[in-house]
């Protein structure tokens, strides 16, 4: 596994209230160092990256509600391969009712999950790549947004009224988060210590899920061709 690229970014206040809900930043996010000179990408560059990713919709299914972890992993790989100057990360938004540390708190409360008002409901979490610049952090998520957006905008649009969630920023190499009994282990500082297979270094897991979700049970040659297209985009 590659050594973690260390990142530093400004995340604002610890708890932010929005019309649609409340979210908090996890203190266990990767807040590691990098030189500010490396995060000198302009907003127009970030917009160009978003448009490039959006143009791959014939291969990447941005309308599937259940493959965000694989889609985010592949998109991060595409950005890393084609835009090596981008300072990359991944951002998770996890509904509070599915956090291990909040299990007792939500035992008798309504479980309000995340949603995208256009077509997706009842998300336990959502994940997307981010690009960190010297001035802000932008989420690259064509599945829910029409342009690069700030973390504040992204999170507030996915939390329903009355809901609450946790924002966790990690290195882009993580594929999934550690969970216990289907609850997010939100107090685990080192995800690598969970003993779970939370990486997808060769993209095989994410490619397989994206292929099956897009094509289902079809002719083997179609599956093979889509896998080849996805592999060429990230490897």
Task: Give the domain ranges of the chain.
Answer: 15-200
**pLDDT at site 49:** 98
Task: Note the pLDDT of residue 18.
Answer: 39
Global pTM value: 0.87
Percent of the chain at pLDDT above 90?
71
Parallel, antiparallel, or unpaired: how do β-strands 163-170 and 21-25 relate? Answer: parallel
pLDDT at 229 over 80: yes
Range with the lowest mean pLDDT among 4-8, 37-41, 59-63, 142-146?
4-8
Tell which wins on pLDDT, 175 or 37: 175
Whether the per-residue pLDDT at 10 is higher than 50: the answer is no
> In which band, very low, low, confident or very high, does the pLDDT at 217 lie, cut at 50, 70 and 90?
low
Residue pair 41/86 in contact by the 8 Å Cβ criterion:
yes
Q: Is the pLDDT of residue 173 over 60?
A: yes
Average pLDDT over every residue of 165-176 = 96
Provide the 10 A C-beta neighbour count for residue 6.
11
- Asked whether 210 and 74 are in contact (CB, 8 A), the reply is yes
C-alpha span between 81 and 73 (Å, rounded): 12
* E strand or H helix that includes residue 139: strand 137-139
Per-chain mean pLDDT for the chain: 86
Determine contact, residues 133/43, Cβ cutoff 8 Å.
Answer: yes
Q: Sorting pLDDT into bands at 50, 70 and 90, what band is 221?
A: low
Average pLDDT of the residues in 160-189: 95
Q: Above 50 in pLDDT, residue 110?
A: yes
The CATH number corresponding to 15-200 among 3.10.620, 3.30.1490, 3.40.50, 3.40.120 equals 3.10.620
């Amino acid at each position: 596994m590659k050594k973690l690229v260390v990142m530093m970014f400004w995340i604002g206040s610890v708890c932010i209230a929005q019309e649609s809900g409340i979210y908090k930043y996890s203190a266990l996010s990767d807040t590691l160092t990098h030189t500010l000179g490396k995060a000198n990408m302009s907003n127009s560059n970030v917009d160009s990256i978003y448009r490039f990713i959006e143009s791959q919709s014939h291969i990447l299914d941005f309308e599937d509600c259940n493959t965000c972890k694989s889609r985010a992993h592949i998109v991060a790989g595409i950005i890393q391969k084609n835009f090596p100057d981008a300072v990359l990360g991944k951002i998770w938004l996890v509904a509070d009712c599915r956090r291990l540390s909040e299990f007792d708190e939500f035992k008798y409360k309504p479980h309000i999950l995340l949603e995208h008002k256009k077509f997706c409901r009842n998300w336990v979490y959502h994940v997307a790549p981010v690009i960190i610049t010297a001035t802000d952090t932008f989420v690259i998520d064509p599945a829910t947004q029409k342009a690069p957006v700030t973390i504040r905008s992204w999170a507030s649009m996915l939390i329903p009224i009355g809901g609450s969630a946790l924002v966790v920023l990690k290195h882009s190499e993580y594929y999934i988060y550690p969970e216990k009994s289907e609850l997010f282990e939100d107090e685990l500082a080192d995800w690598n210590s969970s003993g779970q297979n939370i990486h997808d270094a060769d993209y095989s897991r994410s490619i397989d899920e994206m292929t099956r979700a897009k094509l289902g049970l079809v002719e083997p040659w179609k599956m093979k061709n889509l896998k080849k297209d996805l592999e060429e985009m990230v490897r």
